[in-house]
Structure formats: structure tokens, C-alpha cells
A and B are shown apart, each in its own frame.
Chain A
């Protein structure tokens, strides 16, 4: 019955790893048109489903067994929850008479996951299955999306279900916001008309609601610059002249300067994360703040907005566009052009192979037309700076949770979702090793997914922080013992390529880009000690941005990480 319900929801793929308590469901999948993708680790499977979800907007489905199978998904569930990715995790559970008796492979997975799911179910009777699965898909995909966990005791998974399929939802406490309050929208329009130095701040919510076109129209009509968050990349084409790219901790200097100096900032589907606000008490103190979000709990959580509009970002902006007029921003835009010239993104051209150079060229090879996923660390920030995202759902990165090990499996999921697109995972040598066993999954399925490993033999961001804030006392940063990644890829049956010299970058990236007979791993052996700039130390204000390496020793950052 579970599998029939999943078919009815239009599920194409299930990313799963089998186990005793989930056997009835795996058995039922043998007779289903749903394709089971056998993963090598449940964390990898969960990130794959997440990548599938982010690349399509449709929920990714994970099937795992009880106990350790279920607990191995927790990292992936947290990642999806922090970044509002729709995910359905179905976990097997011991038979219901044994619940709570410490049975073999029993874990209270609903209990374990309470803080990291949007909602969860423990099915107690087979007749609940049709309703629970319908509700789970509705909750995961509507409003602010998120992960939903369904725990299925083995006897219930194989038990007879007499209930019919249903579209009925029994969710009296759950509403899905749509259009924003017209009065608030009119109020926002008034502020926007008066602003001399407006900035539109585009977050992941804009990607999720596909608000990019409307935001571009708004920006063009107002002649207002646009900045995006790490996860907001692609909602508004980053090559658009009004788009200043990413702002925040490692954002472009001109985007950060625009935010510091603006007289109005309008957040569209963004949650004022600490990576972008810096010290909150100093953040845009004199600017009018407008906040558009589908989640009312975001209003006032970090920043108290002057106007808050509760609703779907696309619908709100579509309603707002006709109410604004061309603003008098010529002077503001001229200032931004000056900043762009004065503080471009740059990196040294000599002294070995630079990650920035590789990513800059990857941007040229992919032309903003590929789906890029990343892991977490220096490579992620360089990729965010140099790889300009041109369309929605083409940039998949773990933002809120900052999960190492996300990038490669997410790329596999995205490649399943978009088989005709080129998909590149950009990963570091640290994060890649957390989920690199999924090379097997990619090879078995002959996926033409590409993986670029920026290998500096360090946990690079850790090394950067220790260099800058801890007197270069390196502790737990050196990844001595790295394997030869080219040989590792080849051992799995993937194509392996290596870049050692700047002169080889274009040729090898092109070769990998064109390769479509299976996975291809490109290892860029970059200089070991390189840092990401610009940088705003955690807990500092945006105006304390460092554009290059400071000469003096810095205080330990006061921010969380």
C-alpha cells in the first residue's frame, strides 16, 4: 500500500538502503515502476533525495531501515530542514508489539528527529497509510517546504490495508499562505518609491517560489541593485547588470558595501542568517527593512522589519511590481559601478594552481548552464563567488546546516532529476571523503555526473581561521593520508582526471564536461595555503569586511562559527 501511495504521488525514484525492518517495502518495490536507487550510505541517500528535490522542486524520497539506517539519515534531514528542501524519509521500524522494548535495530527515530523535521508520523495502523502519505507530501512541499519523516513498523508495512486512496487532508492546524496582505504591499511600495539607495536581498525562498522573473522586473523598474544569499543564487541571473552577486561573510565587496550603505533593504525569502547580517545590532541600522516571507516566524526572529509581508514570494512581488515607479537611483547605481571597479573579485595569477582560477574557468566552460552543487568550505565560497548562476535551481549547496558530504550525493540526485543537464559537484578533499562511497551509486547507474575536487590536502576553511585568528596554530586541519583521488575514482570505475598546472585547466575541464559515459572525477591539486576574501569575521559587522589578508593579528571571532 505504501508503494502504491508513492506511485500515486508521482514518485520516480526512491533513494534507499535496505534492511530487515524495511523488507516488506523493498519487496513491494520489485513490482513497481518506481526506480529504486541503492545507495551506499543513508546519509548519501538522503542528500541525493535532497539534491533531486532542490533541482526539481518535487520531494525527494528516501527509504531506509530501522535503527542505524534511520539515524544515518539525521544529518541529511537537518540539512533539508535548515534549507527548506522537501524530503520524505520513510524508515522501517521494528514490529509494533516490540515498540519500546529495545528490540533489534530499534531506535525511537521520531523522537530523535523531532527537532529537525517539519513534521513526522509513526504509523500505528495500516489503514492510516493512504492519509499519512498524502499529508506527508502536502506538508513537505507546501508553504515553507521541509523534511517529513514516516516511521513504519514492519508488521504495519506488510499488513492488510482496507482504507482507500484519499486526497483528503486532516490538518486543521496547517495553512499554506498565498498572496500577501494588500495593505502591507502598498506600504512597501510607498517605501520603495521614496528610497534613494534601495537594495533587494534575494534568499532561497525566492528560488523555491520561482520569484526570479518578478524580482528582476521589480529591480529593473526601480533600477535597484540585487544581492543574493548563498542559496538565493540563480533566482535572479547573476550576470544581470543589476545583480551584485552574493553578499555576507564571503560575499563580493560591492554587494556588501551596497548593503552597508543602503537606505532600504527588502528581503525576499531570506531569513537574515548570521552569515549575511554579521553583528545584528549594526546591521543596516538606518535603513528601512521590508521582509517578504512565507514563514511568519521569520518576522522579527533576527531583524524587526518596518514592513512584513506574509506570503509566497512570487505572488507578493507580482502584486508589488505594478505599484512601484522608476526610482531616482542614478547616483546610487553610479556609486555601485565605482565599487565594482574598485573592489573586483581577484586572486593571484602566479604561484601555482589556484582554486579560484579553476572555478573561474569552470564558470567559463559551463557558461552558467550546468547545475552546480557544492560541499562546504573554502571551495564552496570560491565557487559561489566565481561561478555565476543564471537560472533557478541550478545552484545546490548546503547553507544553513553547512553539511560536509552534501555536494557529491546531491549532484547524483540532481543528475537523476535532470538527466539532460550537465551536473557538476564542486567539493573539497575533506567533504568528498565523507560520502565518496556514492561513486559506486553513480557508476552503477552510469550517471554522467562530474565531480571537481579542489584538493589542498587541508580542511581549508579551518586552516584559514586558525591562520587568521589562532596564530596559525594548526589543529585538526591537515588531511594527511588523503588517497590518490584519481586512482580512487578509477577503482570505482569512474573516469579520473588530474589538473596540476594552470595551463591544463581549460583542456581538462572541457574534456570532463564533454564526457558523458559515466561519472568523471577531476582532481585539481591546488596550492595548499590560500584564503577566501573578502571576509567578514564571524560576529563582526558588515562594515568590518576584510578585502585582503590583514597585516596584523586578529582577535578571535566572537560569532558562533
Chain B
């Protein structure tokens, strides 16, 4: 019996540019839905989203990393700013800002591969936060690109689980986030 013909691998869709947007919003139910609708309706994919209380409890901060057509980004920002619950919406793409992210990586690592793993961890200043007989969890923080590199280096080992916080961002100096 002839083997089924393999379909040619689909060429990967061109990667859309990534944007980082910060939002300062009222801390009320339903705000997140209104924000997400602005993105989804215009075909933007949200890559990461961090929401937490601001300095005053009545406001929250959202940091959103999304991918989509740069030309539409301006419209997204304006539509976000238009929402009654959004105090301000700022596009930080290409800005001077401090960015960081945290990742937790769980590896099922036999003892003989641990030296190598720990070398990688040391190089990235990652912390071992759980050390078991069959598994270990590493915690690393830094710019998202550093985390990408860290995870890629660990992939050849038995990478079991990955949790990333999503990008945290704060504008430097007097600029508003």
C-alpha cells in the first residue's frame, strides 16, 4: 500500500510586527472585555496581557503586547482611548522604557543532565525555586527576548511546563506609562 502523500508543509504566515501598549483604566468589571473587543474586532492578536492594580486602587494598569498591521495600530490606540473606562492608552513600541518579564520553567531532568541545565541557569541568572528528584523549576526574569533565548536553550532538555508573566513595562523618566 502506498504511503499517503504528504501535503507540502504550509509556508509559515509572515510574522506581524509586535507592539507594546500600556493602558490606564478604571478598575471595574467589564473593562477587560471592552478592551479585548477593540483588538479582536480589528484582527489583532494579543500575545501577552498583564493587568494589575495601579498606585491607587481605583485604577488598573494593563500592558498588552499584540501583533498586527502597524498601520492599524493608530486606529486601535484611538479606539482604546475612546472607551469611557480608559483614562489613557499609550503605544510604547520603540520607546525608551524599562521592560521586564518573569518566566517559570519546569524540566523533567535526570541527574546526569542537571549540570548542563544549571550552567545555562547560572548564565541567565535564573534561580532554582524547586529542586526535586525528578524535576526542577527555574525562575528567570529580564527582557522578553532574554527569556525567549533562555527557553530555547532549555528546549533540548525535557521541558515540561512553561509559565510566563507577560511583559511588564514602565516608561523611563517623566514620561507617562
Interface residues of A (CB under 8 A from B): 110-111, 114-115, 118-120, 122, 139, 171-174, 295-297, 299-301
Contact = CB atoms under 8 A, between A and B. Distances in A.
8 contacts: A115-B41, A118-B84, A122-B30, A173-B85, A173-B87, A296-B78, A297-B75, A297-B82
B26 A296 contact: no
A408 to B, nearest CB: 31
Given A110-B30, A114-B33, A114-B37, A172 B79 contact: no
Contacts of A174: 84
Given A300-B74, A300-B75, A171 B33 contact: no
Count class of interface residues, chain B: 20 to 34
Contacts of A172: 26, 59, 87
B130 to A, nearest CB: 37
Contacts of B87: 172-173
Given A173-B25, A173-B85, A174-B84, A115 B30 contact: no
Contacts of B75: 297, 300-301
B84 A173 contact: yes
A110 B30 CA distance: 9
A173 B86 contact: yes
Given A122-B29, A172-B87, A173-B87, A114 B82 contact: no
Interface in B74-100: 74-75, 78-79, 81-88
A122 B87 CA distance: 20
A120 B33 CA distance: 12
Nearest to A302: B75
A172 B79 CA distance: 16
Contacts of A120: 30
A114 B34 contact: yes
Contact of A297 (B41, B59, B79): B79
Which 9 A-B pairs give the minimum distances between C-beta atoms? A297-B78, A173-B87, A119-B84, A173-B86, A174-B84, A172-B87, A297-B82, A297-B79, A173-B85
B176 to A, nearest CB: 14
A172 B87 CA distance: 6
Given A297-B79, A300-B75, A301-B75, A173 B26 contact: yes
Contacts of B41: 115
Nearest to A299: B78
A300 B88 CA distance: 19
Contacts of B81: 296-297
Contacts of B29: 122
B57 to A, nearest CB: 14
Contacts of B37: 114-115
Contact of A139 (B25, B30, B84, B88): B84
A173 B33 contact: no
Contacts of A173: 25-26, 83-88
A172 B34 CA distance: 17
A93 to B, nearest CB: 14
A371 B81 CA distance: 36
B54 to A, nearest CB: 12
Contacts of B33: 111, 114
Interface string B25-48: 110011001100100010000000
A171 B29 CA distance: 15
Given A115-B37, A115-B41, A173-B87, 6 more contacts: A111-B33, A114-B37, A119-B85, A120-B30, A173-B85, A295-B82
B135 to A, nearest CB: 38
A122 B31 CA distance: 12
A172 B26 CA distance: 8
A162 B84 CA distance: 26
B71 to A, nearest CB: 9
Most buried by B among A120, A139, A172: A172
Contacts of A118: 84
A173 B85 CA distance: 6
Contacts of A139: 84
Interface string B96-138: 0000000000000000000000000000000000000000000
Nearest to A144: B82
B46 to A, nearest CB: 16
Nearest to A301: B75
Nearest to A124: B29
A400 to B, nearest CB: 15
Given A115-B37, A122-B30, A171 B78 contact: no
Interface in B48-88: 59, 74-75, 78-79, 81-88
Nearest to A296: B78
Contacts of A300: 74-75
A110 B37 CA distance: 13
A548 to B, nearest CB: 38
B18 to A, nearest CB: 21
